[in-house]
Amino acid sequence: MRPSGRALDAIRTVSIEPGFSHHAEGSVLIRMGGTEVLCTASVEGRVPPFLRGQGKGWVTAEYGMLPRATHTRGSREAAKGKQSGRTQEIQRLIGRSLRAVVDLAALGEMTITLDCDVLNADGGTRCASITGAWVALSLAVRKLVETRVLKASPITGQVAAISCGLTEMGAVADLDYAEDSTAEADANFILTDGGGIVEVQATAEKSPFTDEQFAELMRLARLGTARLFEAQRAALGTP
C-alpha cells in the first residue's frame, strides 16, 4: 500500500482558496495534501527591457520556500545571497508553463509576476505552484477585464501540473514527500484542459525506465490533471 493509503491513481485532497493575500491583484492558497503554496499575481504596467516597444506583455514567476516549510530547517536563500539551481529551475518552469496559455500580444505592455511561496512542503511543490498560479493569474486577469484595462482575457486555456512516479508499488499519481524521496523515477507533466502537452520532465532517479512505464505515468497524469482542472474552475466559480 502507498504510505498515504491512496489508490495508485488517486491524487491528494486539493483545495484552492482565493484571496489569501490582501494586496495582490490575484492570489490563492493552494493545498495538495500537506503541501501548501501561496500564489500571488502582481500586475505592473511595463515590460522587461528585451520586450519594450513590441506591444507584447510578459508573464514570469518567482519561487521560494520558507525555511521551515520542510522537516528540518533549510537555510534562507536571501541570507545565503543566492538562489539555488533548483529554485531557478522551478521558477523558470512555472513562468514557461503559464506563458504557454497566455496570448502575450493580447495582454499588451504589461507584466504579470507570479510569486509562489511554499508555506508547508510535502512533495510536489512545483506542480502545486503551477496549478495554483494559474488561478491567481486568472483572478488578476479577471480584475483587469472588469476594470476595462483589458477588453478580453488573454488566457487561452487552463494549465495544471502533476508529478507521477515509479515506486515499488508501480506507477503512482501525485507523489508526496515519502514517495518522492524513494521513487525510482519521477515525472512532472504540465498539461492543458484541451489535451495539450505544455511540458514534460521525466527523470530516472535510479535506473532508466521504459516506454511502457513512461506511457503509464502519462496516463495517470491525464487522470490527475482532470481533477485539478475541476478544482481550478471551482475556485474561480466558472462551470
Question: How crowded is residue 184: how many other Cβ atoms within 10 Å of its Cβ?
Answer: 15
C-alpha grid cell for residue 9? 491513481
* Per CB under 8 A, 115 contacts a second copy: yes
Residue 126 burial (CB < 10 Å; 0-12/13-18/19+)?
buried
233 is in an annotated binding site: no
Q: CA dist 230 to 55, 103, 143, 234, 239, Å?
A: 33, 22, 21, 6, 9
86 is in an annotated binding site: yes
Nearer to a second copy, 8 or 204 (CB): 204
Of 163, 192, 225, 232, the residue at the interface with a second copy (CB under 8 A) is: 192
CB of 122 to a second copy, least distance (A): 7
CB of 133 to a second copy, least distance (A): 12
* Per CB under 8 A, 232 contacts a second copy: no
* Per CB under 8 A, 88 contacts a second copy: yes
| Sign of the alpha-carbon dihedral angle for 216, 12, 166, 5 | negative
Of 11, 32, 91, 174, the residue at the interface with a second copy (CB under 8 A) is: 91
Q: Is the separation of the CB atoms in 94 and 30 below 8 Å?
A: no
**DSSP assignment string, 7-50:** -TTPPPPEEEEET-SSSSSEEEEEEETTEEEEEEEEEES---GG
Scanning residues 116 to 145, which ones bind a second copy (CB under 8 A)?
117, 119-120, 122
Of 164, 209, 228, 231, the residue at the interface with a second copy (CB under 8 A) is: 209
Give the whole-angstrom CA distance, residue 11 versus residue 176. 10
Of 12, 27, 137, 164, the residue at the interface with a second copy (CB under 8 A) is: 27
Note the residues at the interface with a second copy (CB under 8 A).
20-24, 27, 34, 38, 40, 42, 44, 62, 64, 66-73, 76-79, 81-83, 85-89, 91-92, 96, 100-101, 113, 115, 117, 119-120, 122, 156-157, 187, 191-192, 194-204, 206-211, 214, 218
